[in-house]
Chains A and B, each alone.
Chain A
Amino acid sequence: MTDVDRLFREFNQPLVRYLTRRLGDRDWAEEVAQETFLRAMKQDTIVSERSWLFAVATNLVRDEARKDIRRRHRLELLREQTRAEQTVEPEPLTIERAEEAAIARRALDMLTERDREALLMKEEGLNYTEIAAALELTIGSVGTTLARARRRLVEAYESIQQPGRVAGGIAGGGAHAAS
């Protein structure tokens, strides 16, 4: 088994899941993941494999987003059309779960890019060192980033779920600041 085979077997699944959560589109996520592994093949040595792969994938997503939004929209439409003809069996969802997913997506979109990526990487099992390397942060700031991301995500989610509630806390940060 080559190194790339091993990398793919070990990291493709979490990488696709991370990208799917990040992008909201599994086909797109798979494309980005493939591109990431292609780049890994061209790399002579990779010191920290997981953080390298997540960093490259994250950068690819950013580049793609910057490059051509219109092209992406067009691709998404084409994907929707082809999806109707495919025999892929997605996870059966109840309406409640679909609604929950939509609210979660909206809440996640309300975070800053850095908060969102740090949170999704943490949820994918990356440790603080790996997150710091992938996002070019200091290790000491990862905890603060994650704390802010989590708080804002939960508050955003609850504000969307219960529109009557004031969402002022979303941007408010921690309630218990260091003295």
Chain B
Amino acid sequence: MQHLDEGTIHAWLDGELPAADQAQAERHVGECAECATALAEARGLIAGATRIVSALDVVPAGVVPLPSQKGKGAVPGSMWRTLRLTPSRAALAASVLIAVSAVFSFRRNVSDDRASAAPASKTSATGASVAAVTSEPTAPAQASPAPPPASARQPAAVDASSASPRPATPRKLADARSALDSVSAKAELPVAMNAARATGAVAGVAADSRPEPQRTMNDSAQAKKTAVAAADRVAAGGAAVGPPAVAAASRNQFQRAATPVQLQEMVVTSAASASDIVGCYQIKAESGAVARLLPDRFALERSTVVAAPNVVRAVTSDWRKDSVITGSNWIPLANNGAKIQSTDGAKRQVVNLHLTSLVSGQATITGAAAPLAVTRMACLP
């Protein structure tokens, strides 16, 4: 039989070849190494072309383009644009942040002072968190008509946000001022840093009102929600892959993110990495290589269940996705990479996959001396 031409191979992979021709082609590929190579190459080209075309999408597939909407029924726009942030408003917002940070820092300092004076049993209740400080039982001291004990006087005096409508006496104000002075020395640097960060973020947002798609801001609340969801996914994957601390750190990284800009970047990075690496792969088997828990052919697939780890599937000899490989999961890494973990009883193996081009890359396996070549393929549905 003649070798298969490229058009026939592509038609076959596109599912457009009549059944009889397909069977004939399959038989031929089984016997002809040259055509088998051409088939593998065509798979790579199909996957590569699809990926390139997808890169053209400014909007992800399946999203109806947004018309210009200002009237009723409009899709809610960015909070930052809705607020119409200007530099002066941004500065005002930064000032408010500084003030709030100062109050919190002040409270913490007061709490620390009180903790040092209080009995040991009480110190355990004064944690670093603001919530712990505000939940301190200061109410009895405030409600009591009698002079409060020395240990409780200071916090009661400076608790400006307290619901108790007592007038501030000169003594209390003086206490508060001195306490603020002592706090400012400790809190100045971090507060200034926070403020600078916040100002930078706000200024960044103001600048982003210009039409630069790379810096487009979504609603910060939505961004944070998405970021936490993404963190959950990463954490879920990481929980199975690495020690719990890794997953916790990953989640904390998102939750600690203070500004929408940071959150936005994390979301985009996470989403882009995950979508870029999904696909079918073949690891080039080498004699003498480390025994792998992962088969030569496998598919990385994102989990459709929220917070569930991403799945790894087996791939059949005709490049169809097969069953999920139990004990294997993966998380996306930066720069077109993925960390795949496979477990089999007590055995555990990690494969770090990294794509160096559209259709090829390397797999570094724990315990292996050198990385193995990996080819990205197009799977049949």
Interface residues of A (CB under 8 A from B): 12-13, 16-17, 20-21, 24, 26, 30, 80, 83-84, 86-98, 100-101, 103-105, 107-108, 119-120, 122-123, 127-128, 140-151, 153-154, 157-158, 161, 173-179
Roughly how many angstroms separate A147 CA and B16 CA in the complex, as a whole number?
Answer: 13
State how many angstroms separate the Cβ of B82 from the closest Cβ of chain A.
Answer: 9
Please pick, from B48, B58, B69, B70, the residue contacting A101 in the complex, using a CB distance under 8 A.
B58
Q: Which 5 A-B pairs have the closest CB atoms?
A: A144-B7, A143-B11, A143-B7, A178-B5, A174-B6
Task: Tell me the count of chain B residues lying within 8 A, CB to CB, of chain A.
Answer: 65
- Asked if B35 lies at the interface with its beta carbon under 8 angstroms from chain A, I say yes
Binary flags per residue of B3-29, CB closer than 8 Å to A gives 1, else 0: 111111111001010000000000000
Please pick, from B70, B211, B217, the residue contacting A83 in the complex, using a CB distance under 8 A.
B211
- Asked if B97 lies at the interface with its beta carbon under 8 angstroms from chain A, I say no
Roughly how many angstroms separate A141 CA and B5 CA in the complex, as a whole number?
Answer: 12
Q: A93-B268, A107-B52, A149-B49 are in contact. Are A179 and B65 (CB under 8 A)?
A: no
A103 surroundings in chain B (CB, below 8 A): 55
- Asked if B289 lies at the interface with its beta carbon under 8 angstroms from chain A, I say no
* Number of A-B residue pairs with CB-CB distance less than 8 Å in the complex they form: 181
* Contacts A108-B53, A142-B11 supplied; 20 other A-B pairs, CB < 8 Å: A30-B65, A83-B211, A84-B210, A87-B74, A91-B57, A91-B60, A93-B213, A93-B214, A97-B272, A104-B52, A104-B56, A105-B56, A107-B52, A143-B8, A146-B10, A146-B11, A147-B6, A147-B42, A176-B3, A177-B3
Q: A83-B211, A154-B358 are in contact. Are A176 and B34 (CB under 8 A)?
A: yes
B10 surroundings in chain A (CB, below 8 A): 143-144, 146-147, 150
B317 surroundings in chain A (CB, below 8 A): none
Binary flags per residue of B59-79, CB closer than 8 Å to A gives 1, else 0: 111111111111000110110
Roughly how many angstroms separate A89 CA and B54 CA in the complex, as a whole number?
Answer: 19
A154 surroundings in chain B (CB, below 8 A): 44-45, 48-49, 52, 358-359
* Chain B, residue nearest A91 (CB): B59
Q: A20-B57, A146-B14, A151-B45 are in contact. Are A141 and B7 (CB under 8 A)?
A: yes
State how many angstroms separate the Cβ of A171 from the closest Cβ of chain B.
Answer: 15
Contact A86 B68 (CB under 8 A): yes
Interface centre among A108, A123, A154, A179 (most CB of B within 10 A): A154
State how many angstroms separate the Cβ of A17 from the closest Cβ of chain B.
Answer: 7
State how many angstroms separate the Cβ of A33 from the closest Cβ of chain B.
Answer: 10
B16 surroundings in chain A (CB, below 8 A): 127-128, 142-143
- Asked if B175 lies at the interface with its beta carbon under 8 angstroms from chain A, I say no
B3 surroundings in chain A (CB, below 8 A): 176-179
Roughly how many angstroms separate A86 CA and B358 CA in the complex, as a whole number?
Answer: 35
Please pick, from A89, A90, A153, A179, the residue contacting B52 in the complex, using a CB distance under 8 A.
A153
Roughly how many angstroms separate A30 CA and B67 CA in the complex, as a whole number?
Answer: 10
Contact B57 A128 (CB under 8 A): no
State how many angstroms separate the Cβ of B263 from the closest Cβ of chain A.
Answer: 11
* Chain B, residue nearest A100 (CB): B55
State how many angstroms separate the Cβ of B261 from the closest Cβ of chain A.
Answer: 11
- Asked if B93 lies at the interface with its beta carbon under 8 angstroms from chain A, I say no
Contact A176 B6 (CB under 8 A): yes
Contact A157 B48 (CB under 8 A): yes
A105 surroundings in chain B (CB, below 8 A): 56
Roughly how many angstroms separate A20 CA and B35 CA in the complex, as a whole number?
Answer: 36
Roughly how many angstroms separate A13 CA and B63 CA in the complex, as a whole number?
Answer: 8
- Asked if B50 lies at the interface with its beta carbon under 8 angstroms from chain A, I say yes
Contact A176 B37 (CB under 8 A): yes
Please pick, from B41, B44, B66, B215, the residue contacting A175 in the complex, using a CB distance under 8 A.
B41
Roughly how many angstroms separate A179 CA and B13 CA in the complex, as a whole number?
Answer: 20
B61 surroundings in chain A (CB, below 8 A): 17
- Asked if B292 lies at the interface with its beta carbon under 8 angstroms from chain A, I say no
* Chain A, residue nearest B9 (CB): A147
B70 surroundings in chain A (CB, below 8 A): 87
Roughly how many angstroms separate A32 CA and B61 CA in the complex, as a whole number?
Answer: 19
A104 surroundings in chain B (CB, below 8 A): 52-53, 55-56
